[in-house]
Amino acid sequence: MKFILTKKDVIALNQEFDTGEMHNEASLEFALNYAGKTENWTKALAFIVRAILLDHVFKEGNKRTAALLIKTYSEYEGYSTYDDKIVKLIKEIIFKKISNINKIEDMIKDAIKY
């Protein structure tokens, strides 16, 4: 199944916490483009999460937006998540500047209850 979120959807997630004002729109568009090319929804999430956290897609609320994205898209796919693991993976990506998509995907998979 293709990743179906759009830029408008991701902005709406950010608007749960802030204004949705973009800081690095090009990075989000690039990540969404790559996400749309994979059938693997966790890899698609990894592209978007990486952009939000490391490229600071929004002026404010990037960490909360990434957490909500992981949680809501996992639920859309029929899974629940370990919220404590989501918090941990976000901190780890930021502090260790993890940019490897496969590593981020593994971290996301670890936060999903299968």
Give the pLDDT score at 104: 98
Chain-centre distance for alpha carbon 71: 9
Every domain of the chain and the residues it spans: 7-113
Q: Interhelix angle for 62-76 vs 83-95, to 10°?
A: 140
Q: Which stretch of DSSP H or E encloses residue 98?
A: none
What is the end-to-end Cα distance of the chain in Å, rounded? 17
92-105 pLDDT per residue, tens: 999 999 999 999 99
User: Binning pLDDT at 50, 70 and 90, where does residue 1 land?
Assistant: low
CATH of domain 7-113: 1.20.120.1870
User: Binning pLDDT at 50, 70 and 90, where does residue 78 land?
Assistant: very high
- pTM for the full predicted model: 0.95
Q: Which residue has the higher pLDDT, 86 or 2?
A: 86
